[in-house]
Amino acid sequence: MIIPAQLAQKHNLYKPYLENIERRARERIFNFCNEHGYAFVGRLKDTESLFEKIETGRFDSWSKLDDLYGCSIVIPFLDEEEQVIQWLKEKFDVVETRLRGTTLKDPAVFRFDATRVIAKLRVSDFAAQSELTKISFEVQVRTAFEHAWSVATHSLAYKGERVDWSRLRLAAQLKASVEQLDMLVLGFDGAANTIHKQRWPDVAIRARIEQVFRSRLDAGTLPQEIRPASWMRFCENVQRLLFSTKNEGIRGAAAERFIEQRLGTIEVALDTVGSAYPKSVSLLQFCIGTLANAQLITGPLKGYIPYITEELRSLYPKATIAGAGFNLEDTN
């Protein structure tokens, strides 16, 4: 590709400034992404891409180029976009915000339209008239689905080696799927309510486990400090624990009856202890101690390694029958 020498010289002249902007913006934005669990990608535009952009005929001067440095913040859900934009406004001088869906778009067309924030480094962070505060950079706010679509199709369809209707059509179809996925995630609970529920024993067991513990926590009969961080993970762990107290495998209705019997024992213990719950043990450890005291654990657990602490041993001495437990020491 032939690139005008004047443009290459101009770009090379600006590279030290752009690299400085990249370093400062990247550090601040990456830390924000790391704190919130967002993905981050960024790049300096190379001279070839810069010349291709100029040759689109959409820019009349160097100062109008706003993505010589560009990066993307990848968020899991669309409803987190607003807080990202607000943070960018607090940390940078925002020149313009181009929100998704604000440009005219044929309803039959599907193309990339993620939110773009055009910003500059804050004047207050530098000496007066610093060149670093005059150069704009672009921050895209993409959903995870949008990012996956962009990475997968950009080089294949939009910067490919040939013009191909089928490739462009496929990329548009994939983008339509992306929009649908984002809408489903945004309205996840409502969409889930439209799905006809079918019974599955494992799910029914975990739902019953959740009901036993959540109902008491919601009613305030148990201290809120012991509420699980994830109900899904907690219920799976309790289910695994309860099944590990059975020597042979059971399935279906028999498994549900088996779980119900053990949950009944745990319910009685929870209602007995109430607000006096011993906060030195987790809810799952409480289950181990309760089952051991009721002689429903009669030997080392099958396929489940419990976490046995000194506090658990002190409160429930019989809990040691469940096995040696997780070893905090490095065994290598």
Read off the pLDDT of residues 187-212 as tens digits, 9 standing for 90 and up: 888 888 888 888 888 898 999 999 99
DSSP designation for 115:
E
115-119, 145-149, 166-170, 284-288: the lowest-pLDDT one: 166-170
Domain topology for 5-189: Beta Polymerase; domain 2 (3.30.460)
What average pLDDT does the segment 238-256 reach? 84
23-32, 107-116, 233-242: the lowest-pLDDT one: 107-116
- Rounded to 5°, angle at Cα 235 from 232 and 237: 110
Count CB neighbours of 299 within 10 A. 10
What average pLDDT does the segment 31-48 reach? 95
Instruction: Give the residue carrying structure tokens 């207050």.
Output: 124
Asked if the model's pLDDT at residue 218 lies above 80, the reply is yes
Answer whether 0.85 is exceeded by the pTM.
Answer: no
Asked if the model's pLDDT at residue 231 lies above 80, the reply is yes
| pLDDT for position 179 | 87
What average pLDDT does the segment 102-123 reach? 81
Asked if the model's pLDDT at residue 39 lies above 90, the reply is yes
Q: Is 325 left (phi over 0), alpha (psi -120 to 50) or beta?
A: left
User: How high is the mean pLDDT of the chain?
Assistant: 89
Residue 128 pLDDT level (bands cut at 50, 70, 90): low
243-247, 272-276, 296-300, 328-332: the lowest-pLDDT one: 328-332
| pLDDT for position 296 | 94
**C-alpha–C-alpha distance, residues 65 and 18, integer Å:** 12
| pLDDT for position 104 | 64
| pLDDT for position 169 | 86
| pLDDT for position 16 | 94
Q: Identify the H or E element spanning 58.
A: none
63-67, 103-107, 309-313: the lowest-pLDDT one: 103-107
| pLDDT for position 88 | 97
Asked if the model's pLDDT at residue 90 lies above 90, the reply is yes
Q: Which of 20 and 197 is assigned the larger pLDDT?
A: 20
| pLDDT for position 160 | 64
Amino acid (one-letter) located at 133: T
Asked if the model's pLDDT at residue 264 lies above 70, the reply is yes
User: SS3 letters for 234-302?
Assistant: HHHHHHHHHHCCCCCCCCHHHHHHHHHHHHHHHHHHHHHHHHHCCCCCCHHHHHHHHHHHCCCCCCCCC
| pLDDT for position 131 | 82
Asked if the model's pLDDT at residue 243 lies above 70, the reply is yes
Q: For residue 107, count CB atoms less than 10 angstroms from its CB and return exposed for 0-12, middle for 13-18, buried for 19 or more.
A: exposed
- Rounded to 5°, angle at Cα 199 from 196 and 202: 130
Map out the domains of the chain as residue ranges: 5-189, 201-322
| pLDDT for position 315 | 95
| pLDDT for position 157 | 65
Q: Which range is most confident: 98-107, 165-174, 307-316?
A: 307-316
**How far from each other are the two terminal CA atoms of the chain, in whole angstroms?**
57
